Structure 1
């Protein structure tokens, strides 16, 4: 019965989401980007990134029929670097968001459920991470730890969970005030039963909506760290393309495509995640849905 109710609720969610034009536009765009990233070895073979096999390729060639998005300082096609960079940017975005959501959900539920010094201590920890500049802390962690994709994932995930925890805590307090929670306590339910059976299902829709919004922020953070030279130099990412364009002063030297292409790609993907997140939030948030 419970699974049947959940299937009906999911089907209703899909129907409401399908009626959102902006949400569907963002979802379709993200699906295309994800498919392109998965098929990167097929669309753009790895040898197209090997500078030793592109000795005769023109450097800084502007966009044309032969070079659709132009070439970089080594003669590599910008579109090839963008296709391969989508893999790293999306993996970091999703993985860092998963780490952030996991920590934020656990800490937020605990801070809202437990009272006394336990809840107070957790709230002080959340407040500390909220006022701490997350980007600066991520830069410090990326500098201290060994450089790599998973280092960036850890750095972003460990510094971006506080906002989620604050939202989850407020939702937990709302759920805690409902009558069925009090009846569960009277019937002898323990903390684990209340958290798993009642609080977690109550906050999951809000966490889902917040997740889609956080992925965009994680992609921006990854691009920033790669732009600052703290990413994995052996792998392509949109941030590393921007870093290379800065090293060769592409913006002032007239190589506008070198800066514009990765910048527009980041903006469009983040916008798509935002559109999907807003559509999900309008569905799962009763206040917004009533409007």
Structure 2
């Protein structure tokens, strides 16, 4: 007879260990940086404030540009938390609506610059030869001019408007993405997985879209995060000299330009727009530094 088996001696199947996803590790590493978390909160406040501006202020019409001369230059009080401007408009409403313009310029400029620069850089780096020389010489022409000066010249030639400001800045920013992606592509095109894809007959365009571009997105994402603040500053600078968004549309750069005349006696108008630009640009720069560390596996692993 066989000996009775004690149920306690039978090994039980252990549940598989829960696998931590890569995105969870990135988020956990991001949360460890308090400055990045605070910066993210600041950005969310400004973005949500711009989106929900009509519901966050009772002076929505003034934010859109309607004057109220009877309350011109009212100091900050309970009714107008940031005071009023030279036309009696609520400054907080102008800041919220100005955030729509300034943040939109930042996001759209970086988006279109990346859309132009990333494919050109990937094509130049992958094919090399005369294609690389042609695209990089065109890139060098744009890089030969100071970006802000070239953007101002293009904005002056196109005319002062929101669309023209976005186009002018985008045309000066795409070469940086082309250069960055080209450098990454040059290091990738000789890798074994690229050679293997060629050997089985995968087309060049398929290799670029499915193997090259996904592997260059990490440095591009870091660059995009860092460039957001610079794009907002450039847009504000163009509006400051009168070549950007025109009144009555609110814009932070335009508010600083007009408010500088009254800054000594009534600093709340220009000061509120200036502080908004400072906080948003600083937040983007701090988040960009953290994103660079988070996307680096070595840095994330040590954290």
Residue-by-residue CA offset, 1:125-157 (whole Å, 9 max, x unaligned): 222222211212211221222432111111111
Structure-1-length-normalised TM-score: 0.89
Taking the aligned partners of 1:286 and 1:168, their CA distance within structure 2 comes to 20
Q: Is the 8 A contact 2:75 2:82 kept in 1?
A: yes
Query: Which residue of structure 2 aligns with residue 268 of structure 1?
Result: 279
Q: Is the 8 A contact 1:51 1:75 kept in 2?
A: no
SS of alignment partner, residue 26 of structure 1: helix
Query: Which residue of structure 2 aligns with residue 4 of structure 1?
Result: none
Q: Is the 8 A contact 1:49 1:80 kept in 2?
A: yes
Residue-by-residue CA offset, 1:177-222 (whole Å, 9 max, x unaligned): 3211122222222211210111111011221111111111111111
Taking the aligned partners of 1:100 and 1:186, their CA distance within structure 2 comes to 34
Query: Which residue of structure 1 aligns with residue 238 of structure 2?
Result: 225
Cα gap change, 1:177 to 1:21, in 2 (>3 Å): farther
Taking the aligned partners of 1:171 and 1:17, their CA distance within structure 2 comes to 25
Q: Give 1:257 deviation, angstroms.
A: 2.1
Q: Is the 8 A contact 2:257 2:270 kept in 1?
A: no
SS of alignment partner, residue 245 of structure 2: coil
Structure label with greater radius of gyration: 2
Structure-2-length-normalised TM-score: 0.85
Query: Which residue of structure 2 aligns with residue 183 of structure 1?
Result: 196
SS of alignment partner, residue 96 of structure 1: helix
Residue-by-residue CA offset, 1:234-285 (whole Å, 9 max, x unaligned): 3101011012113xx223x422222322111101101111111111111223
SS of alignment partner, residue 284 of structure 2: helix
In the alignment, structure 2 segments of 5+ residues that lack a partner are 1-19
Q: Is the 8 A contact 1:89 1:237 kept in 2?
A: yes
Aligned residues: 281
- Note if 1:171 corresponds to 2:187: no
- Note if 1:238 corresponds to 2:252: yes
